[in-house]
Amino acid sequence: MRRIWILRLSHRRERDKRLTTHVALTARALGAEGMAYSGDIDTTLEDRIKDINRRWGGDFKVEYIEDPVKWINLMKMNGFKIIHLTMYGVNISDIINELRKYDKLVLIVGSEKVEKIYFEISDYNVAIGNQPHSEVAAIAVFLDRYFRGRELRKKFVGGEYYIIPSERGKIVKKKVNGL
Amino acid sequence: MRRIWILRLSHRRERDKRLTTHVALTARALGAEGMAYSGDIDTTLEDRIKDINRRWGGDFKVEYIEDPVKWINLMKMNGFKIIHLTMYGVNISDIINELRKYDKLVLIVGSEKVEKIYFEISDYNVAIGNQPHSEVAAIAVFLDRYFRGRELRKKFVGGEYYIIPSERGKIVKKKVNGL
């Protein structure tokens, strides 16, 4: 089974609250297992994601880590390859086939400026295009290409509700016994 | 030539400033021509994107529109197909081949709750998966699939700088005569 974790660096509780939430929700919807974050501890963020799991299913994890470098080394020891997503890196189109060989990945995204150590400690620095854009977009494109689009068909186990895709309108159904 | 515009509904100057910026930057980096937005007028947002164009090239447009429905109808008359990105819609995997037949698209994304009229007025309601996530991620995945990944190879004309993709580090070069 493929296992993907996100590492969101230097979360600032006030300033980044919505963007870090979007990072987590995107990672969750596109097939990642969890998000670790450093910077400010933010229990509101953690509760928001728990609430999404409760309503929409799955078991996406959010974990605060105090020392990102230590955590990265731990993940490396557990067989994870470390991918830093940055506009300065190698174009994803040139490297995604190689990265698909690994089934355990950590994707690092910063909030503002990312310290040099992360360029060095990572196994790969990968650019989702060499133009400035968004860490949310970077995660989305990376995961969609990595999973070859299959992640968007995934059913989330548990939760209270599910959606029936619809050409026009909103069809939300209540789950029975989480199925 | 394919022409894609984003319509960002109900921008709130304070609350949405960073997310709407991410929407614009993602659209720009992944091949769209411009973003129209409704809600609060925000000249700081517009200046921020102009500054990105000045430094990194291209001619991505940001335009405030007062009446989104009127603007949508105008775009329809000009041959654009209207795609509303929503978690309630048809799975993108089931419809992207059909949508690729059109070379002029408007992608609508909301900020909070989107009014019913946009579900009705759109030619297609499309879901980037039926789980809650992010309008930034939705635009990113849509454009990447629509352009089959080629948009990330695009060179931006003009601007002052460009990046040389690098395995480890940041290589930024100054452009000569915008090339």
3-class DSSP string for A99-128: HCCCCEEEEEECCCCCCHHHHHHCCEEEEC
Pairing of strands A34-39, A3-11: parallel
In the block, tokens 């995961």 appear at A143
Contacts of A90 in chain B (CB under 8 A): 165-167
Q: How many domains does chain A have?
A: 1
Backbone dihedral angles phi then psi of residue B19, each to the nearest 5 degrees = -65, -40
Contacts of B51 in chain A (CB under 8 A): none
> What ipTM is given for this predicted complex?
0.96
Picking from A92, A93, A165, the nearest residue to B130 by CB comes out as: A165
Domain assignment present for residue A12? The answer is: yes
Contact A88 B169 (CB under 8 A): yes
Domain assignment present for residue B110? The answer is: yes
Residue A131 has pLDDT above 70, yes or no: yes
pLDDT at B178: 65
pLDDT at B112: 77
Domain assignment present for residue B179? The answer is: no
**Mean pLDDT value of segment A66-77:** 98
Contact B153 A119 (CB under 8 A): no
**Mean pLDDT value of segment A50-55:** 97
Domain assignment present for residue A179? The answer is: no
3-class DSSP assignment, residue A41: coil
pLDDT at A58: 96
Q: Write the single-letter amino acid at B169.
A: G
- Angstrom distance (rounded) from CA A137 to CA A129: 11
pLDDT at A176: 85
pLDDT at A177: 74
**Mean pLDDT value of segment A122-139:** 96
CATH assignment at residue A144: 3.40.1280.10
Domain assignment present for residue A112? The answer is: yes
pLDDT at A82: 98
Domain with A97, as residue range(s), is 3-174
pLDDT of chain B, 179 residues: tens digit per residue: 899 999 999 999 999 999 999 999 999 999 999 999 999 999 999 999 999 999 999 999 999 999 999 999 999 999 999 999 999 999 999 999 999 999 999 999 998 789 999 999 999 999 999 999 999 999 999 999 999 999 998 899 999 999 999 999 899 999 987 66
pLDDT at B113: 87
B87–A contact, CB cutoff 8 A = yes
pLDDT at A7: 98
Contacts of A166 in chain B (CB under 8 A): 88-90, 125
Contacts of B75 (CB under 8 A, 6+ apart): B5, B82, B106
pLDDT-derived band at A113, boundaries 50, 70, 90: confident
A125–B contact, CB cutoff 8 A = yes
Domain assignment present for residue B140? The answer is: yes
pTM given for the model: 0.97
